[in-house]
Amino acid sequence: MHRKLAHNWSVQSRREFFSKAGSGLAGMALSAMVAEGAKSNSDPLAPKKGHLVPKAKNVIWLFMEGGPSHIDLFDPKPKLNELDGQKMPASFGKIITAMGTGSNTLMASPRKWKQHGQAGTWVSDWYPEIAKHVDDMAVVRSCWANGLNHVGSVCQMNTGDILAGRPSLGAWVTYGLGSANKNLPTFVVLLDDREVVGGPKNWSSGFLAATYQGTQFRQGETPILNLGRPKDVTTERQLNQLSFLKKLNEGFGADKAEDTDLEARIRSFELAYEMQSAGAEAVDLRQETAATKTLYGMDEEGTRQFGQNCLQARRLVERGVRFVELYCGSGSGWDAHSNIEGNHGKWCRVSDKPIAGLLTDLKQRGLLEDTLVVWGGEFGRTPFNEKGNGRDHNPWGFSMWFAGGGVKGGQTIGTTDELGFRAVEDPFHVHDIHAAILQGLGLDHLQLTYQHNGRAERPTVVGGTDGLAKKLFG
């Protein structure tokens, strides 16, 4: 005869009793874990602690899209000038570039070079204002990447992969640390007057929840559209509308937990409401003095637009935005396959004074110590010419620099070969660069993971070391 116990269990033996009792306890524990998880995940943007002691609170990434020439800016090569007009030495092997086989002749840099600051860092005459800040900068001359073309390379510099679909670094930072403010996006993208090659995939959240993606601000007097409430809509009426809309969305999404786009849309409505006051104030550059605007070059036609973006970046990090990415030369503006003098001459003038102004402003406000500033493009350019007076894409060796945010300034890290073609001493891949930025913010790239398709994905894919971080931060 079977004994009937609670929950209508039919128990035939002590072994079966404890087995089923154990299952019930496990179920209760699982339910509690799920409930606790749901509670902790109710706000995906809640502030979180990192894995390490952070050096910086924010990042401003100055992205020179198109590929600035390192051998004309931060990496002088006397040997290149000596071999001007000669063929690429056979010792470099067969070279395949974006536009050919690298059979064109070597092309000297006509730049005038000087050592600057107490550190004696070499900078060319194309960047005279930025050169004044070298003691706050660490110039890394040995970066390398995988992509040959702009679409893949811009994508990799943002996401770690030349193929679209992975989360951008800003999205990983937002996922790992949450938001430091309730009234503004955590990850903001500022463009100039053209679209970035590859578009929004470069600030996408990929397989992370959609709420972690970057928010693009527009150019002009209204970077954020539709911030103002219509005159005939009262605050009470708007709140009622938002509350009703939220109920409808939550009802629709009750059985669609995997639909992160819906969750992101709900949060975007809530954030939009908060931004009606905070957002309008954050982007109102009229609050800045004439002297500050002049510092950023906003009083000059050639530097006004990028200067405005640099000033906007300072205002955003000042208000708790964690990750701000500024594009200079959107649409591959620095892509000097021909007439590098005209091309780089233009973009250096556009970016030199605004960037120097940003560094000065951050420092005098006490913000530089908490803000990691990153400068670079998706790759560098070749030592041999293309079309007679230009340079091809060069992902095998190029320069980037880092300032503020705990960076040990006044140092030059790594080297390229004597012609500036390949990184040879302390080469650092894009994954190492991302690992260093994350570490500066207190995130360990090996511990920052997200389960996707049965795999613990991380921002540096299957690469990345702490080598660059050690040199940058000590």
Q: What are the pLDDT digits (tens) for 170-211?
A: 999 999 999 999 889 999 999 998 999 999 999 999 999 999
Q: Select the more confidently predicted residue: 406 or 11.
A: 406
Cα 13 to Cα 6, 17, 21, 23, 307: the distances in Å are 15, 6, 12, 15, 79
Determine the residue type at 469: A
Give the C-alpha separation, 233 to 89, whole Å. Answer: 72
Which structure tokens are listed for 353? 């004074």
Name the average pLDDT for the chain.
Answer: 88
Give the C-alpha separation, 278 to 301, whole Å. Answer: 29
Q: Is the pLDDT of residue 38 over 50?
A: no
Q: Is the pLDDT of residue 274 over 70?
A: no
Coil, helix or strand for 179? Answer: coil
The DSSP annotation for 127-145 comes to -TTGGGGGGGEEEEEEEE-
- With bands split at pLDDT 50, 70 and 90, how would you rate the model's confidence at 266? low
Q: What is the pLDDT averaged over residues 261-277?
A: 63
**Region of poorest pLDDT, from 160-164, 387-391, 458-462:** 387-391
- With bands split at pLDDT 50, 70 and 90, how would you rate the model's confidence at 273? low
Q: Is the pLDDT of residue 18 over 60?
A: no
Q: Select the more confidently predicted residue: 344 or 223.
A: 344
Q: Which residues pair with 376 in a beta bridge?
A: 63
Give the C-alpha separation, 138 to 115, whole Å. Answer: 14
Q: Which residues pair with 139 in a beta bridge?
A: 401, 412
Cβ count within 10 A of residue 108 = 17
- With bands split at pLDDT 50, 70 and 90, how would you rate the model's confidence at 218? confident
Q: Is the pLDDT of residue 6 over 90?
A: no
For 350-380, write each residue's pLDDT tens digit. Answer: 999 999 999 999 999 999 999 999 999 999 9
Select from 185, 168, 193 the least CA-distant residue to 224.
185
Per-residue burial over 119-149, b = 16 or more CB atoms within 10 Å of its CB, e = otherwise:
bebbbbebbebbbebbebbbbbbbbbbebbb
- With bands split at pLDDT 50, 70 and 90, how would you rate the model's confidence at 250? confident
Confidence at residue 244, expressed as pLDDT on a 0 to 100 scale:
77
- With bands split at pLDDT 50, 70 and 90, how would you rate the model's confidence at 453? very high
Residue 275 buriedness (CB in 10 A; 0-12 / 13-18 / 19+): buried
Which structure tokens are listed for 214? 């970057």
Coil, helix or strand for 337? Answer: coil
- With bands split at pLDDT 50, 70 and 90, how would you rate the model's confidence at 5? very low
Give the C-alpha separation, 471 to 285, whole Å. Answer: 37
Give the C-alpha separation, 279 to 29, whole Å. Answer: 43
Q: Select the more confidently predicted residue: 459 or 1.
A: 459
Backbone angles phi, psi at 452, to 5 degrees: -145, 120
Select from 148, 144, 160, 162 the least CA-distant residue to 198.
162
Q: Is the pLDDT of residue 465 over 90?
A: yes
For 39-95, write each residue's pLDDT tens digit. Answer: 344 689 999 999 999 999 999 999 999 999 999 999 999 999 999 999 999 999 989
H or E segment and range at residue 233:
none
- With bands split at pLDDT 50, 70 and 90, how would you rate the model's confidence at 7? very low
Task: Specify whether the CB–CB gap between 51 and 447 falls below 8 A.
Answer: yes
Give the C-alpha separation, 50 to 64, whole Å. Answer: 29
Task: Specify whether the CB–CB gap between 171 and 179 falls below 8 A.
Answer: no
The predicted model scores a pTM of 0.85
Coil, helix or strand for 101? Answer: coil
Confidence at residue 226, expressed as pLDDT on a 0 to 100 scale:
58
- What DSSP character marks residue 148? S
Determine the residue type at 90: A
Polymer length in residues for the chain: 474
**Region of poorest pLDDT, from 38-52, 390-404, 415-429:** 38-52
Give the C-alpha separation, 423 to 214, whole Å. Answer: 31
% of the chain beyond a pLDDT of 70: 82
